[in-house]
Amino acid sequence: MNVASVGRRPPSRRGREARRNLTAYGFLVAALICFGLFSWYPMVREVLLSLQENNFVDAPTWVGLDNFETVVEDPAFAQAWINTAAFTGLALLIGYVIPFCAAVILNELRHAKAYLRFVVYLPVMLPPAVSVLLFKWFYDPGPGLFNQILGFFHLPGLAWLDSTDTALISLVIVSTWMNLGSGTLIYLAALQTIPSELYEAAELDGAGMFKRIRHVTIPQTKLILLVMLLLQVIATMQVFIEPFMLTGGGPENATVTVAYLMYQYAFNFGNFGGGSAMGLMLMIVLIVFSAVYLRVSRENT
């Protein structure tokens, strides 16, 4: 690769460095502009909006913490946080474990691996609107698929989305199904980096499948498991599509989440200040959670 120097004075070291830095800065500037425009600016704007009464036409008025007061006093506010926490908790129990198990099983399989990987990833490729329609039918308390399956085993049918008791967990199931593919693929990639000698050694030591998973697989993928946990909590705390499209917050507010209420304020009630206040609260909760989580997990590793 000496083409550049042919018939030319080799550039001075400083010049070369400057040019290289220029390229680096060029790349950096593009990234900074993107982040600034689409990430940081909206965040700053949200903080400002949450302190304003703003219809985006007249000059905004500063209202201090009035917007926060409005949303905190909303009768659905407490319920929204409880629902969101419950959704996140249930999604951890169900949605965190299942993709990992799926990945472990897929990794063990000898045949039809590519096909199964495709099948597992398929729900991710379906547009949410399609998945939602599908589940509306699955969940029909009358002739829906799930109740027909239950009926086949002579089990009583459930009301699924149409009951305050089961609506939230039904949403968790949809959410898990829709996101299963991405998680599984990431775990699969992680599993493939585990050296097979470790399994062989474990096997020689007489470890069964569960012991191998416990003592080899999990420790070896700990880092990715920890990161995925954090990402999942951040994602599920912002759950919106599922209640928005499947239940409209019902029945009796049983599926109103923080993000759903935020949407209601901003886009249905025309109260952008209130919506921003909700969003800011959610952001602060997530930042605090992430900071604590990172500190704790770093201490443990």
Partner 1 sequence: MSSSRRALGLLIVTGLGLSVAACGSTAEQPAPAASAPGGSAKAAAPVTISVGCQPPKTNPLQRKDWDDDVAAFQKLHPHITIDSKDGFPCHDVKTYDAKLAGGQMEDVFYGYFGDVQTAIKAGQAADITAYADTITTLKDIDPSVMAAYTVDGKIYGVPRGNYKVGLVYNRKLFTQAGLDPNTPPKTWAEIREVAKKISALGPGYIGYGEYSAGNTGGWHFTQSIYGRGGAVVDETGKKAAFNTPEGKAVLQNLKDMRWTDNSMGTKQLYQWDDLMRLMGAGKMGMILGAPDVITELHDNRKAKYEDFGLAAFPEAKATLGGGDGYMFNPKATPEQIKAGLLWLDYYVLTPGRGQFDYARQKATGRAVGLPDNNVWGDSPTGQKLLELRKANSTLPTENFAAYVEGSADIPLKLEPPMNQQIFQILDTPMSAVLTRQDADIDQLLAEAEAKVNDVLSKAS
Which one of 90-98, 162-170, 176-184, 229-237 is the stretch in contact with partner 1 (CB under 8 A)? 162-170
Q: Cβ closer to partner 1: 31 or 189?
A: 31
CA distance 124 to 118: 10
149 binds partner 1 (CB under 8 A): no
DSSP 68-101: HHHHHHSTTHHHHHHHHHHHHHHHIIIIIHHHHH
127 binds partner 1 (CB under 8 A): no
34 binds partner 1 (CB under 8 A): yes
Which one of 193-201, 216-224, 228-236, 263-271 is the stretch in contact with partner 1 (CB under 8 A)? 263-271
CA distance 290 to 207: 36
Write phi, then psi, for 53 (nearest 5 degrees): -105, 120
Two structure tokens written together for 298: 């770093």
279 binds partner 1 (CB under 8 A): no
Return the residue matching tokens 């399956």. Answer: 149
46 binds partner 1 (CB under 8 A): no
Q: Smallest distance, Å, CB 169 to partner 1?
A: 15
Q: Cβ closer to partner 1: 70 or 83?
A: 70
Residues 183-186: contacts with CB within 8 Å, 24+ apart?
183/95, 183/99, 183/100, 183/103, 183/228, 183/232, 184/99, 184/102, 184/103, 184/106, 184/117, 184/120, 184/121, 185/103, 185/117, 185/120, 185/121, 186/224, 186/228
The DSSP call for residue 251 is S
Rg (alpha carbons) of the chain, rounded to whole number: 25
Q: Among residues 141, 199, 215, 240, which is the contact residue for partner 1, using CB under 8 A?
A: 141
Taking CA atoms, 167 is separated from 87, 142, 158, in Å, by 10, 15, 10
29 binds partner 1 (CB under 8 A): yes
Binding mask 192-231 for partner 1 (x = CB under 8 A): ----------------------------------------
User: Which candidate, 80, 81, 50, 85, places its Cα nearest to that of 64?
Assistant: 50
Two structure tokens written together for 100: 């990992």
161 binds partner 1 (CB under 8 A): yes
Q: Smallest distance, Å, CB 11 to partner 1?
A: 8
37 binds partner 1 (CB under 8 A): yes
Residue type, 109: L
Q: Cβ closer to partner 1: 76 or 285?
A: 76
Q: Smallest distance, Å, CB 89 to partner 1?
A: 23
Q: Among residues 50, 70, 83, 257, which is the contact residue for partner 1, using CB under 8 A?
A: 70
26 binds partner 1 (CB under 8 A): yes
Q: Cβ closer to partner 1: 35 or 118?
A: 35
Q: Among residues 162, 203, 215, 220, which is the contact residue for partner 1, using CB under 8 A?
A: 162
Residue 158 in contact with residue 98, Cβ under 8 Å? no
* Contact set with partner 1 (CB under 8 A): 1, 3-4, 19-20, 22-23, 26-27, 29-30, 33-34, 37, 55-58, 70, 73, 75-76, 136, 139-144, 159, 161-164, 244, 246-253, 264, 266-270, 272
